[in-house]
Amino acid sequence: MSGPRVLMVCMGNICRSPTAYGVLRHKLVEAELDQRVTVDSAGTHAYHVGSPPDARSQAHAQRRGYRFDDLRARAVDDADFEHFDLILAMDWDNLALLEERCPPAQRHKLRRLTEFCQRHDSPTVPDPYFGGDAGFEQVLDLVEDACDGLIRHLKQRQGDPT
């Protein structure tokens, strides 16, 4: 694939970034962009490398029609800064960690996912890990909104006005 490459990033790569990965992947299929846009997911910490996404994240996402059970947690690698065109952090802390590691020439690729929200006004996607069901639903609400805005952004970058 020669189109844009998007990396979703949270702390451990088991809740928020896998959710964002799964939602974006699903929405890219619906927008017929799945053959042009590459999506991946990683964490700023190597806490859960090799683990599947959190079961609660998967369960809430599956109720909305998203699947990402094929994903396994991995940590951000130095090569990611070169390889990806957009590296989207879920919150300020993870953005700061990415900025520390990212070569200056690649920093323009770093953004927060919620910058693409169209309906919600939240600076971050809050970590649901230590909370209840409402936190996982809030993550999905924010991520769905941001992914819709991200697809719009990607289309505009490729000259597609829709």
Active centre residues (catalytic)? 10, 16, 127
Q: Tokens standing for 132?
A: 């209840």
Distance CA 121, CA 114 (A): 8
Count of other CB atoms within 10 angstroms of residue 80: 21
Dump strand ranges (E) for the chain: 5-10, 38-43, 86-89, 110-112
Amino acid of residue 137: E
Q: How many CA atoms lie within 13 A of 80 on its CB side?
A: 24
Amino acid of residue 59: A
Q: Where are the alpha helices (DSSP H) in 11-132?
A: 16-30, 55-63, 80-83, 92-101
In 3D space, the residue among 45, 60, 54, 50 whose CA is nearest the CA of residue 12 turns out to be 45
